[in-house]
Structure 1
C-alpha cells in the first residue's frame, strides 16, 4: 500500500529561514542568505 505525504517548503524572507513541513508538522528549518 502506498501512502502519499504532503511536503511543503516555506521561505520566510523576514526571518531569513526556510522551513520544511510534512503535513502540519515542521520537520526541518535552515538559515538562508537573501540577496
Structure 2
C-alpha cells in the first residue's frame, strides 16, 4: 500500500454536522 490518502477533515466535519442536525430534528419531532 502506498501513502495514506489525505482526509478532507473540513468536508467530513460538515457532513457529520449535517447528519447530527438531521438526527436531532428527527429526535425532537416526537417530543413536540
TM-score range for the pair, normalised by the shorter chain length? under 0.3
TM-score (norm 1): 0.22
TM-score normalised by structure 2 residue count: 0.21
Name the structure with the higher helix share: 2
Where relative contact order (Cα < 8 A, 6+ residues apart) is larger, the structure is 1
Higher CA-based Rg: 2
Structure having the higher strand fraction is 1
